[in-house]
């Protein structure tokens, strides 16, 4: 269960980074 939690946390961080990148590109 703990490993799944870490995996979800990692995927969520990657998702947030990708989202920020897309928003930044849209504004630029």
CA nearest neighbour of 2 among 14, 16, 10? 10
| Residue scoring higher pLDDT (9 or 2) | 9
Q: If you ran DSSP here, which 8-state letter would residue 28 be given?
A: -
- The alpha carbon of 26 is separated from its chain's Cα centroid by a whole number of angstroms, namely 17
pTM of the model: 0.63
Kindly state the percentage of the chain with pLDDT values over 70.
Answer: 100
pLDDT category at 9 given cuts 50, 70, 90 is very high
Instruction: For residues 23 and 17, give the distance between their C-alpha atoms in angstroms, rounded to a whole number.
Output: 10
Residue with structure tokens 């998702």? 15
């Amino acid at each position: 269960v703990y490993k799944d939690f870490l995996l979800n946390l990692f995927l969520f961080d990657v998702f947030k980074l990708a989202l920020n990148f897309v928003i930044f590109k849209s504004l630029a």
